[in-house]
């Protein structure tokens, strides 16, 4: 590809963004990426020219063109892979073939994972926690961040520039020409950052404060955080914003908010959802009512991130929970959101298995039942709807009590 097509973006005097922008992606392994994404890679110019992370396989030419706008890619002598998921390593074997670097570094687990993906012949040198390499004037120090969010995940840090390459950590799926958080609207940073955390990092929340403590103990100072997706954080205000957000999200505190999800066949369960929501709202608890015909599982996960209650409605179809409801509950079960209460409701025709099936999910998700379920045959009566409103009030009061208890 012609070197004048895609250009690198300067991050500091010696560090360039050379990644790719994926404007069209909407399904990132089940996550609705409404605003596309970027695969960030970084070129460090020192005696040993270093590439930190690569991009998804089909964006190799874009990566190489951005590198070539600064140097001849064959001058790269070191490649560091902070995370082996294929949005960051998909083109790694092809780049190694083309560039022939002296060394390719990854964490111990990363070396294994890269070989598992691309074959045992690929030559990777494993580094471990606290190891450091010299690039000439600058060093790169490695910090393992296992299970944030893969076993291989690690951070790389250049102390001379106080820049942390944090792979998926502090990232977001957001395609844009703006490379830095201070160029992006705050509401987008907040929403897409939370969505990324809720869908990718939430199950590993317990590791976040431990990682922060490790960073503090190592005396790491941060002028720039450069993640593998979305904007780069380079102002003290923005760095504080994203670090504080991670502290809040990982604490999984209860807020006065309930997420009500439902699907419906002939509108009976939908009517119940509306009445239950009115009951919750009457207690002062904010309700996010999400009909699953139009709400993606990853958007539900985002709303659940700061909710105190998950309320689930499903009709029974062929002795089963409705498929869209099962999809979302299965997804949320994997994300392991803590500290929520829940309640189930729904209409049925002749068997009504959906409610116990929802409550089984609650049990597996360690969600305490806030109110007895409301199960209605065919169409809710006036009395049934009164029960729905009372159920909503009971849920709302339980959420408020849990907020007050914190």
Q: What amino acid positions are annotated as catalytic residues?
A: 29, 83, 85, 87, 149, 168, 196, 229
Stated as kind and residue range, the H or E segment containing 125 is: strand 125-127
Stated as kind and residue range, the H or E segment containing 136 is: none
Q: Which of 56, 60, 88, 195 binds ligand FEO (CB under 6 A)?
A: 88
Please tell me whether residue 83 binds ligand FEO under the rule CB under 6 A: yes
- Cβ proximity to ligand FEO: between 90 and 313 the closer is 90
How far is Cα 399 from Cα 388, in angstroms, rounded to an integer? 17
CB contact at 8 A, 243 and 235: no
Span near ligand FEO by CB under 6 A; candidates 19-27, 85-93, 211-219, 233-241: 85-93
CB of 113 to ligand FEO, least distance (A): 11
- Cβ proximity to ligand FEO: between 149 and 387 the closer is 149
Q: Is 364 exposed, middle or buried (0-12, 13-18, 19+ CB in 10 A)?
A: exposed
Within 10 angstroms of residue 240's Cβ, the number of other Cβ atoms is 12
CB contact at 8 A, 195 and 173: yes
* Binders in 361-400 for ligand FEO, by CB under 6 A: none
CB of 23 to ligand FEO, least distance (A): 17
For residue 274, how far is the Cα from the chain centroid?
30
Q: Which of 22, 168, 255, 263 binds ligand FEO (CB under 6 A)?
A: 168
- Cβ proximity to ligand FEO: between 175 and 369 the closer is 175
How far is Cα 369 from Cα 240, in angstroms, rounded to an integer? 37
For residue 249, how far is the Cα from the chain centroid?
11
Q: Is 29 exposed, middle or buried (0-12, 13-18, 19+ CB in 10 A)?
A: exposed
Q: Which of 85, 238, 303, 384 binds ligand FEO (CB under 6 A)?
A: 85
- Cβ proximity to ligand FEO: between 83 and 195 the closer is 83
- DSSP annotation of 203 reads G
Residue with tokens 């070989």: 115
- Cβ proximity to ligand FEO: between 35 and 149 the closer is 149
Radius of gyration of the chain measured on its C-alpha atoms: 24
Peptide bond into 350 cis (omega under 30): no
Task: Give me the 117-156 binding string for ligand FEO, x by CB under 6 A, dash otherwise.
Answer: --------------------------------xx------
| CA dist list (Å): 86 to 54, 60, 110, 211, 308 | 9, 12, 12, 24, 35
Beta strand 9-10 pairing with 15-17: antiparallel
- Cβ proximity to ligand FEO: between 148 and 325 the closer is 148
CB of 146 to ligand FEO, least distance (A): 13
**Size of the residue set binding ligand FEO (CB under 6 A):** 9
Q: Which of 46, 53, 62, 87 binds ligand FEO (CB under 6 A)?
A: 87
Task: Give me the 35-74 binding string for ligand FEO, x by CB under 6 A, dash otherwise.
Answer: ----------------------------------------
* Binders in 195-254 for ligand FEO, by CB under 6 A: 228-229
Q: Given the rule CB under 6 A, which residues bind ligand FEO?
A: 83, 85, 87-88, 149-150, 168, 228-229
């Amino acid at each position: 590809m012609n070197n004048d097509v895609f250009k690198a973006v300067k991050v500091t005097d010696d560090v360039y963004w050379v990644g790719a922008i994926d404007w069209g992606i909407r399904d990132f392994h089940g996550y609705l990426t409404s605003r596309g994404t970027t695969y960030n890679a970084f070129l460090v110019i020192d005696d040993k020219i270093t590439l930190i992370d690569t991009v998804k396989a089909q964006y190799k030419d874009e990566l190489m063109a951005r590198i070539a706008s600064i140097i001849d890619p064959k001058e790269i002598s070191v490649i560091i892979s902070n995370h082996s998921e294929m949005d960051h390593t998909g083109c790694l074997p092809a780049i190694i073939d083309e560039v022939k670097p002296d060394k390719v570094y990854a964490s111990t687990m990363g070396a294994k994972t890269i070989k598992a993906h691309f074959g045992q012949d690929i030559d990777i040198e494993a580094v471990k926690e606290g190891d450091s390499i010299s690039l000439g004037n600058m060093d790169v120090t490695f910090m393992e961040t296992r299970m944030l969010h893969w076993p291989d995940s690690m951070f790389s840090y250049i102390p001379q520039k106080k820049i942390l390459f944090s792979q998926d950590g502090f990232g977001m799926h957001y395609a844009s020409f703006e490379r830095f958080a201070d160029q992006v609207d705050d509401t987008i940073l907040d929403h897409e950052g939370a969505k990324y955390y809720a869908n990718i990092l939430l199950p590993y929340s317990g590791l976040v404060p431990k990682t922060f403590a490790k960073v503090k103990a190592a005396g790491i100072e941060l002028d720039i955080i450069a993640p593998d997706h979305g904007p780069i954080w380079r102002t003290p205000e923005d760095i504080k914003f994203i670090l504080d957000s991670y502290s809040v999200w990982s604490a999984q505190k209860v807020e006065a908010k309930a997420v009500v999800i439902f699907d419906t066949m002939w509108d009976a369960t939908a009517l119940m959802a509306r009445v239950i929501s009115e009951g919750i709202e009457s207690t002062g608890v904010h309700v996010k009512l999400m009909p699953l015909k139009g709400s993606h599982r990853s958007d539900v996960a985002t709303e659940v991130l700061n909710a105190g209650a998950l309320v689930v409605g499903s009709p029974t179809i062929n002795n089963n929970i409705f498929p869209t409801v099962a999809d979302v509950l299965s997804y949320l079960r994997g994300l392991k959101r803590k500290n929520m209460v829940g309640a189930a409701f729904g209409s049925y025709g002749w068997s009504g298995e959906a409610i116990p099936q929802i409550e089984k999910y609650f049990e597996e998700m360690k969600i305490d039942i806030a109110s007895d379920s409301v199960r209605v045959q065919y169409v809710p009566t006036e009395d049934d709807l009164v029960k729905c409103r009372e159920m909503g009030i009971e849920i709302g009061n339980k959420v408020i009590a849990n907020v007050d208890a914190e």
